[in-house]
Amino acid sequence: MDLHHPHWGRTIFWGSLAALIYAAMFYYSDVILHMAHTTPAACVVGHGADAIYYHKPDAAACTALGGHIEPGVWWHVLIPILLAFLISFAHGAFTGLFWDVMGLKAASHAEKK
């Protein structure tokens, strides 16, 4: 580990940002899962983290299970796409610098002439 490495600042910045996005994702994971499951129409039985989702819902079967039908919202599909971009960018920048700061780098091939 090189404590005087010029990339320390950037490594900490991107690492904190990535951690923040991950924390937010898990904090709101119930909401995110709910949105993923209700991208197509779904029968939702139960609440929060314990909810069970049935796709291609059938009104009678859903009522029998004690659930309710939620119509699909297509744009929910954009959530994972956005998250993937965000995390990939921040975490990618962080890990790219991480090994460098740790002192690991690719070998170079030198020869004298």
Give the interface with another protein as residue ranges (CB under 8 A): 6-7, 9-10, 22, 25-26, 29, 32-33, 36-40, 42-43, 52-58, 61-62, 74, 76-77, 79-81, 83-85, 87-89, 91-92, 94-96, 98-99, 104-113
Q: Which is nearer to another protein, 47 or 112 (CB)?
A: 112
Q: Which is nearer to another protein, 17 or 62 (CB)?
A: 62
What is the SS3 assignment for 42? strand
Which CA distances in Å does 46 have to 18, 25, 91? 32, 22, 34
| Total Cβ atoms within 10 A of residue 67 | 19
The least CB distance from residue 25 to another protein, in Å, is: 6
Residue 62 is classified by DSSP as: H
Phi, psi of 38 (to 5 degrees): -100, 20
Give 21's contacts (C-beta < 8 A, 6+ positions apart): 83, 86, 87, 90, 91
- What gap in Å lies between CA 60 and CA 33, rounded to an integer? 24
The least CB distance from residue 84 to another protein, in Å, is: 5
Q: Which is nearer to another protein, 16 or 88 (CB)?
A: 88
Q: Which is nearer to another protein, 9 or 16 (CB)?
A: 9
The least CB distance from residue 80 to another protein, in Å, is: 4
